[in-house]
Every structure is written in C-alpha cells, then in structure tokens.
A and B are shown apart, each in its own frame.
Chain A
Amino acid sequence: MKRASWLAALLLALVVALGLVACGGDEEESKETATPEAAATTTPQAAVTGTPQAATSTPVVRSGPKEVILATTTSTQDSGLLDVLVPEFEKDSGYKVKVIAVGSGQALAMGQRGDADVLLVHAPGSEKALIDDGSAINRRLVMHNDFIILGPDKDPAGIKGMTSAVDSLKKVFDTGSSFISRGDDSGTDKLEKSLWKKAELDPKGKSWYEESGQGMGATLQIANQRDAYIICDRATYLAQSASLALTLLVEGDPVLLNVYSVMQVNLESFDLVNGPGGEAFADFMVSEKAQQMVGEFVDKKSGKPLFIPDAGKTYEELGMKTPFG
C-alpha cells in the first residue's frame, strides 16, 4: 500500500515534469512564429498575448537559426545604446537578438563555452585568449570612449587635474583614500587591475579598498554613497551624472582608452552556436549604418555623445601600444 502511493506520487511528478518539457517546447516554437508579427507591428503586447494562442495552432518550427545570443558588457546596455541598435538590426536582418548584459569577464566566458553567438566587449587583453584558443573569430573594433577617475568633491588624495592615471592611483594608495573596485573581472575591472600593476602597488586587502562585485551602474552608486574614488567608463558616468555627487577628477591619459570590439563565436568549435546569426550581428556593428548610429547616439540626460565609432581602425591607430592585460 505504502509503496503504491509512493509510486503514484512519483508517477505524477514525472508526468508533470514531462508536461513541463513538452509545453516548454510549445512555447519555444510559438515564440518563433510570434516574433515576426511582433516585429512587424512593433507592439510587444501582441507578442505576449499572442503566445498562448499560437501555441495551440502553429506547426513545429525549430528555433535556433533565427535567434542570436549577444553577450555584452553592462555599459552598452546601461547607456541605452543597444536599445537603439538592436531593434534596427532585428528589422534589417529578421534575426531576434537576446541581449545578455553581464561583465566582460562573464561575456567572454560565455563565448568560450559556446553559450553565446556574438560578443561585444571591452577587454582587449582577455579577448585575445579567445581568438588564440579558437573559440571566437574575426575580432573587429567597433567604437571607443574612455575611462575616467571620479572621486568626492573634497578630493582627499589631491588628484584633481592629474594627467597620469597611474600616478593618481599612487596618490590614492598613499593617502589610503576610500576606493571602490568592481571586483567582478569585467573589462573595467581588468583595466583597473592593470593600472595598479603598472603602479607596482597591491591594494587588495587594504581597509580603504573595497570590491562591489556588481555592474558599473550599481558600483557607481556605492562609490557615490561612500564618497569614494572609482574608475568608470564615460558612458555610464554621463548616463548617471544627474544622480551623482562625485566629480570627474582625472581624464585624458591614453591608458584610459576604452575600446569595444565585436567578435563572433566560432561555429566550428561548438555544435549549437548560430554562426551566421553571430556573423550577421558582428557585420552590422561595423556597418556604415550602425557606425553612424553609434556616432550620433547621445546621452538622453546630458545630450553628450557617448561613443566614438572606430570600425576599420586598428589598436595602434587609436594610440594603444599594448592593450591592457
């Protein structure tokens, strides 16, 4: 008797689990068929309400080829740039882009495991590793802006107006002024670590040095609350400057260049990667149209341009002798 009821419970659980997988498949298929309509009418509501109806009536259309997973850094999403570029690409190509905004570290790791189709990142030193091990191909420059060093108005380390990023970090170190690091292995984090390395200093473990482990926007808010120094990309800073009490203290050092590249995940290294889709997005990013949109894109609040288009240039032309890392 006991065993029977257990079996029944187990069976029920199994049936539900199977149903789940089956209905999961349905949803996936219906989404594929629902997307073109949604794209045509550009009403997202239609996509949502359309899903359940479509699930019952549409034939099987396997997904995959029409879907592109873009792994990118938080700054491209937080600044709003992708909100402009992605719909344009979707309209032109018919692909549907899934933007996964994470730190560049995680984005690169996703590329390395074939969990994404195309990468838009800003960590030149680490990007090379993916090219070298064959997981990604065809790296191309897309755009750049720069990193800046922000800090409290009082500027206890006295770095305002300094021209060398490394020297200003030395002063922060010497005065033991509060400093917030991303600490998440993102592109910004890698740059910051490379600057400390150049300064031959190790702030790790110091009481004034803290790691947030979060995205740029969130980390900026922490630094703001703590009156701390921070290295930030200009796009995120401009997008948030209205809600910040921090002041821009150091800028213009060539080592602070922030270069974004696009590369596609190598179809030949992974079974499930959408090679053509990734390539289409990468091509779009360096196309004349997208480059013009990048150049014309301004921050809504400050009205300032956030990125300078760079397609076709080389790292050397941008004044970078050795990419950080």
Chain B
Amino acid sequence: MDLIWEGLRESIRIIRTGDYALWEITLRSLLVSGSAVVLSLFLGIAVGAAIAFNEFRGRKLVFSLINTGMGLPPVVVGLLVSIFLWRSGPLGHLRLIYTPTAMVVAQTIIATPIVTGFTAAALRNLDPRLRIQLYALGASRLQMLWVVLWETKLPLLAAVMAGFGGAISEIGASQMVGGNIAGDTRVLTTAIMLEVSRGNFAVAIALSAILLVVIFAVSLVLTTVQQQERR
C-alpha cells in the first residue's frame, strides 16, 4: 500500500517538474493513438457502411469476423506487422520498423475492427426508411452516407472512444514494432513496463496514473460532446 502513496507522490512530482520526459511521452501516446483512430475511422466507416447497407451472401460470416477482430490480440498484430516491417521482411526496405509510423500502422489494425463493428451496429439500427426517403429526395450515395452518419453520430462517438481506448492502452504491438526507444517510440504503456522491470515501481505507478488521467480526459471531452448533442 505504501507503494501506491509513494507512486502518487512521485506522479505529482513528475507532473510538476516534467521529469522523465513526461510530456514528450504523453504527447507521443496521444499522437500515435490519435492518428491510429483517425485512420481507423476512415477504414471502419467505409467497411462498416458497406456491410450494414448491403445484403450479400456470407454477410453473417463477415459480421462474425469483424466481431472477432474487435478482440484482436495486440501482440499478434505486433508480430504480424513486425514480420512485414523487419528489414528481412517484405516491406523492410521502407525502414519503418521501430518508428512511430509503425506503431500507428499496428494500432490502426487494432482499432479498425472495433470502429467497424460499432459503425455497422449503429447503421443497422437506423430506420431503413430514412435511406429510402433520402434517395427519393434525390440524394447521391455520398450525400446519403453523410446524412446517415450525422444521424448516428452518438454511437460513432462511442466507436471513437472504444477505438482510442484500445489503441492507447495496448502494449504488445507498441513494444514489438516500436521497440520502446527513448525519445522516439517510447509511449506511456511501454515506459510503464520498462520502469517495472527496472524496479522503479513509484515511477511506474506515476506513469500509470497519468495514462489513466489521459484516457479519462479524452473520454470526458467525447462524452461532453455526446451529451450536448443529445439535448
């Protein structure tokens, strides 16, 4: 128990002094996971809309594949991305391994099924007559999609939150494709692991507290937006 108090004291000290390159690491966590979520929104909404609006054979299978993807183990994603990006791998010449870009790629793969699943579910719950009416009013496909997405923006915010939470809290992929390099690819989760293995538990607790605050702050902003829309 003492350790937790010591850790909390340490976190206040770190926040006050900006020690341990704290802001740099926190900012990188936000940038990497934020970019991953933005990319996964494009991919997830495209695929989610495609399977929600179209009847085709094997749709159930696609749905269950996406649901499986929502629980995609980050460490498996990390290994697969590494195999491609290692110098000995097929994309090795891009020299992307151990860069923040590689981490964005891995986290995008982790977040995309989550966003896709949420999007598909939200669009499925929409009254199908809305689409028919929009077409009747002469809307193009893109206009229709735009209106429909606007109508489902609340569940889509939930998709953003879930995707972001999945991305910023994962460690397996970040460690493997990023390498936890100081000043380059070290993010909050990998820094926590490193400090634990160094026996610096207070620092690890401090970083954990900061990670929780970051996730809380982001979801607070998104929830506020969501609630205001509802009113």
A interface list, Cβ under 8 A from B: 2, 5-6, 8-9, 12-13, 16, 20-21, 23-25, 27-28, 31, 38, 44-45, 47-49, 63-64, 67, 69, 74, 77-78, 80, 83, 98-101, 113-115, 214-218, 220-221, 239-240, 242-244, 270, 272-273
Contact = CB atoms under 8 A, between A and B. Distances in A.
A27 B101 CA distance: 7
Contact of A28 (B95, B105, B141): B95
Contacts of A99: 179, 181-182
Interface in B89-117: 92-101, 104-105, 108
Contacts of B196: 217-218, 221
22 contacts: A5-B50, A5-B141, A13-B46, A16-B39, A20-B104, A21-B94, A27-B99, A28-B99, A45-B23, A49-B27, A78-B198, A99-B179, A99-B182, A100-B179, A115-B87, A216-B197, A217-B197, A218-B197, A220-B199, A221-B196, A239-B198, A242-B199
Contacts of B158: none
Nearest to B101: A24
B228 interface: no
Most chain A C-beta atoms within 10 Å of own C-beta, residue among B31, B39, B181: B181
Interface residues of B, number: 46
B227 interface: no
Contacts of A5: 50, 53-54, 141
A98 B197 contact: no
Contacts of B31: 48
B164 interface: no
B73 to A, nearest CB: 16
B21 A44 contact: yes
A4 to B, nearest CB: 8
Given A9-B47, A13-B43, A13-B46, 18 more contacts: A5-B50, A5-B54, A12-B42, A12-B43, A13-B47, A24-B94, A24-B104, A28-B95, A28-B101, A38-B183, A44-B21, A69-B98, A78-B194, A78-B198, A80-B198, A98-B181, A214-B197, A243-B201
Contacts of A98: 98, 179, 181, 184
A27 B100 contact: yes
A48 B100 CA distance: 11
B197 A78 contact: yes
A87 B194 CA distance: 19
Nearest to A39: B183
B88 interface: yes
B199 A16 contact: no
Contact of B95 (A8, A64, A74, A113): A64
A273 B199 contact: no
Contacts of A23: 101
A6 B54 contact: yes
B205 interface: no
A48 B99 contact: no
A6 B197 contact: no
Contacts of A80: 198
A125 to B, nearest CB: 24
Contacts of A240: 198-199
B163 to A, nearest CB: 15
Nearest to A31: B99
A156 B100 CA distance: 49
Contacts of B201: 243
B199 A221 contact: yes
Nearest to B47: A9
Contacts of A48: 24, 27-28, 31
Contacts of B183: 38, 44, 47
Nearest to A273: B87
A217 B94 CA distance: 33
Contacts of A243: 199, 201
Contact of B24 (A2, A28, A44, A239): A44
B208 interface: no
